[in-house]
A and B are shown apart, each in its own frame.
Chain A
Amino acid sequence: MTTEKRTDAGVRIFFTGVGGQGTLLATRLVGEAALIQGMNVTMSEIHGMAQRGGVVESSIVAGHIASPIIADGQADVLLAFEPLEAVRALVKCHAGTTAVVNTVPIVPFTVATGQGRYPDVQGVLETLQESLAKVVALDAVALAREAGNVRAANMVVVGAFAGLQVLPIEKPVWQESVRRLLPPKLHAVNERAFALGFDAGRAVA
């Protein structure tokens, strides 16, 4: 496994999504899991006006890195909860970046009012595949539905990231993180969503 070598220097994970998708909760889940695993971890998020239906970006830096935020070209991992936001975040990525991308679009309102055109999703995925080292593209909404609740799509993406094993975090640790952050009635559905994502990530890893 190449993971240990990578965490020696540290791993920078950039999260991007749309307000309401649970991007910040997903970020916390990864952060909490890294903490339980005993890693040095820092998260950064933006609250307030940026959250009103706009883009939500956050980041996790794990290992021996002090800076809490990710500069252009620095993300080792991109977790994108929406395809347009995935391609918008390319500026944070480099040629060696690994990405997990939910392929289900959320069309911004500017498109409805004729101020722009939503890019072809297949084209977006091709751009990502050509630019990045590894891309896990999945229909997180369908997998979440299969798990029992479409709102658990964020958990599918986190599961896929876990399956890639970029961070040396063991499976029970992920489960512990879910249990710490979510109320008991949501554990089962989120654990199922996580498992479905995990298998998808594992297949690519």
Chain B
Amino acid sequence: MHELLSPDKGGKRLLLGNEAIIRGALEANVRFVAAYPGTPSSEIIDGFARLGDEAGVEVEYSVNEKVSMESACAAAISGVRSLCSMKHVGLNVAADAFMTLAYVGVKAGMVIVTADDPSLHSSQNEQDNRYYAKMAHVPMLEPATPQEAKDMVLAAYEISEKFRIPCLLRTTTRVNHCRGVVELGDLPSSGSVQGEFQRDPFNLVVVPMVGRKLRLQLLEKEEGLRELSEASPFNRLEGSGPWGIVTSGVSALYVQDAVKELGIQDKVTVLTLGMTYPVPEGLIGRFLQSVDRVFVVEELEPYLEEGVRNTAQKLGLGLPIAGKGPQGIPQAFELDSLKVKKALGHFFGVPVEAPAPLSAPEDLPARPPNLCPGCPHRATFYSIKKIFGEEAVYPTDIGCYTLGLLPPLQMADFLICMGSSVSTAGGFARVLDRPVVAFIGDSTFFHSGMTGLVNAVTHNRNILLVILDNGTTAMTGHQPHPGVSLTPAGRMEPKVDVEQVVRGCGVQRVTVVNPLHVKKTQAALEKIREEMKEGGVSVLISRSPCPLFERRMLGTKQRVVFQVTDACDLCRDCLSQLGCPAFVWERDPAGGECVRINESLCNGCAVCAQLCDAVKPKKL
């Protein structure tokens, strides 16, 4: 039995925030889950994928976030409780569905998890998705701990069903990837994926006349949600001192520690908000009237601060309110208890004591993330750089291959979001007199590259799109996608073949190579470079499975490693051009310098041996 299906009611487990969300949804009898993976949300869909069959839950790895939301809302409108989860920028992709789903609403409960990433640990921006709740008029809960995440998922289903509207659960990395003690609740004994649909076009088909009616209903629902927020157990006041603090989510934990360390427990009143849309204006008002100044502690934008100021203005209160600012709470990046302690100390005029941090020596070498040894992307980048060189512009996309940005490969010139490689390539090609070679991974191609490709074909843009087809969604942990051929059951025909899709998009010049065969790949690229002189779109599918994934799926053993022999002339091209992390530059026993391959890191891909005669295989 999967550990998250344990019937041990009252038992305590050390769960990741994302596991607590799964458990909460299971306790709420969720039956339909859909998501596209994205850090820090991925473990939610991955966990469901592992237990779905056992638990009788339909689990869908969707092609993108918009699709996941639409898929899950169909279940909810048919009376089946559903969940979809995504990283913060995923909600941008799903925003079109989200904004109007708020109008149409749901029948069974639907929870949408948005996992924000303050400090951009694994993201391209750190947008604050709380504004989505406000923009869509959708209720929002913000947990601080794994236990609260589980409790809030259960509450979110109740709210969603009562008000027939999806409920947003807004987490941050430090909730998703925090492991804390969670007390298990009851699991429902049974449930069904089988739904029931009642035809109701004048409430479910959003043409303008329906939309107008639903818009008014949405505003009415919001009134009810405001009342709910006033009474929500997740919005609570603690203490009775004259110094007011407002906080929410993980920031509330930093406030707890900071207040204790400053020794101001008796002087503060802390308003902790767990339901942050709609904000409980009545509660905030009573709080404002009970304190003589207020400090707002929250990560990213001054979302709560705006709400508090708004309420103060309505009540005609002139007390000092602060939060974001140079001496206050930083707007960029995540908080910690020390940042909060300093800001609170400054605002309330309390001396701040903290142990002096030590400092590390300044000249330490960096250890950035890198493409793995044997990664086929490295071989693709190497060959393309050989043929297209410094002249070409290289728009890239989101996945492991974004790491091609780093030296020595440096094969990334532009990136804004999922799918931007191919669409921006079209724009670049029209305004620049340079070759344009765009990179996109297979999973990202299905996610949002196909429409850009159709666009490039339609407008006859002169680009080469390189689809880095490693047969999986590698970066986020090897999730499946429509083109996957390796499964735990062995090698299968892909459900959707990348090459057929590309041809179906109208691309005439399609080449497929295995990038680990360096000469053949470079010959194909030279031919493509010539063909590109005719104008129009070329596609190169560079196909070789992610070696980590292949070994995990097929259980194949590595047969060979490579060694640098005495024939090495120390040209260092292996280091300065290929950049495989298995290569080491060091002093040999005689005191000279040498290049060596770390055999425990070497993956046996043989790319280096095709570039240098001094590299020879060694059988394992």
Contacts and interface: CB of A to CB of B under 8 A. Distances in A.
Interface of A: 18-19, 28, 31-32, 35, 40-55, 65-74, 84-85, 87-97, 107-119, 127, 131-132
B180 A94 contact: no
Interface in B150-196: 173-174, 177-181
A68 B370 contact: no
- The interface centre, meaning the residue of A18, A45, A92, A96 with most chain B CB atoms within 10 A of its CB, is A45
Interface string B251-283: 011101100000000000000000000000000
A93 B365 contact: no
Contacts of A132: 358
Given A40-B181, A92-B357, 15 more contacts: A18-B367, A43-B180, A48-B40, A49-B121, A52-B371, A54-B369, A67-B256, A87-B361, A95-B356, A97-B358, A110-B365, A111-B585, A115-B365, A115-B407, A119-B361
B246 interface: no
Given A73-B355, A87-B364, A46 B121 contact: yes
Contacts of A74: 336-338, 354-355
Nearest to A35: B14
Given A74-B338, A111-B585, A113-B579, A91 B358 contact: yes
Interface in B348-404: 354-361, 363-372, 400, 403
A88 B178 CA distance: 23
Interface in B39-72: 39-40, 42-43
A82 to B, nearest CB: 9
Contacts of B371: 52
B584 interface: yes
- The interface centre, meaning the residue of A44, A54, A89, A118 with most chain B CB atoms within 10 A of its CB, is A44
A117 B587 CA distance: 13
B119 to A, nearest CB: 9
Contacts of A28: 14, 179
Contacts of B121: 46, 48-50
A180 to B, nearest CB: 10
B366 A44 contact: no
B491 to A, nearest CB: 26
B238 to A, nearest CB: 13
B508 interface: no
B475 interface: yes
Contacts, number: 187
B12 interface: yes
B355 A96 contact: yes
Given A35-B14, A67-B257, A93-B357, A42 B179 contact: yes
B122 A88 contact: no
For the complex, would chain B's binding face be called helix, strand, loop or mixed by DSSP majority? Answer: loop
B365 A118 contact: yes
A33 to B, nearest CB: 10
A145 to B, nearest CB: 13
B214 interface: no
B122 A72 contact: no
B581 interface: yes
A93 B370 contact: no
- The interface centre, meaning the residue of A69, A91, A92 with most chain B CB atoms within 10 A of its CB, is A69
Nearest to A42: B180
Interface string B406-423: 011000000000000000
Contact of A95 (B355, B367, B581): B355
A74 B340 CA distance: 14
A45 B367 contact: no
Contacts of A115: 365-366, 407
B408 A47 contact: no
Contacts of B177: 44-47
B450 interface: no
Interface residues of B, number: 60
Contacts of B407: 113, 115
Interface string B578-607: 010101111000000000000000000000
Nearest to B180: A42
Nearest to B337: A67
A52 B337 contact: no
A47 B41 CA distance: 10
Given A53-B372, A54-B370, A73-B358, A31 B179 contact: yes
Contacts of B365: 84, 108, 110-111, 115-118
A72 B355 CA distance: 9
B253 A73 contact: no
Given A67-B337, A116-B366, A49 B358 contact: no
Given A68-B250, A96-B355, A108-B366, A48 B122 contact: yes
A199 to B, nearest CB: 27
B584 A107 contact: yes
B512 interface: no
A112 B364 contact: no
B514 interface: no
Contacts of B254: 66-67
A89 B256 CA distance: 25
- The interface centre, meaning the residue of B358, B363, B368, B371 with most chain A CB atoms within 10 A of its CB, is B358
A149 to B, nearest CB: 13
Given A42-B178, A112-B584, A115-B407, A52 B253 contact: no
Contacts of A53: 367, 369-370, 372, 581
Contacts of B358: 73, 90-91, 93-95, 97, 131-132
A48 to B, nearest CB: 3
B100 interface: no
Contact of B368 (A46, A54, A84, A94): A54
A119 B601 CA distance: 22
A50 B364 CA distance: 18
B120 to A, nearest CB: 10
B368 A110 contact: yes
B122 A41 contact: no
Contacts of A96: 355
B476 interface: yes
A10 to B, nearest CB: 9
B174 A112 contact: no
B134 interface: no
A73 B356 contact: yes
Contacts of B253: 66-68
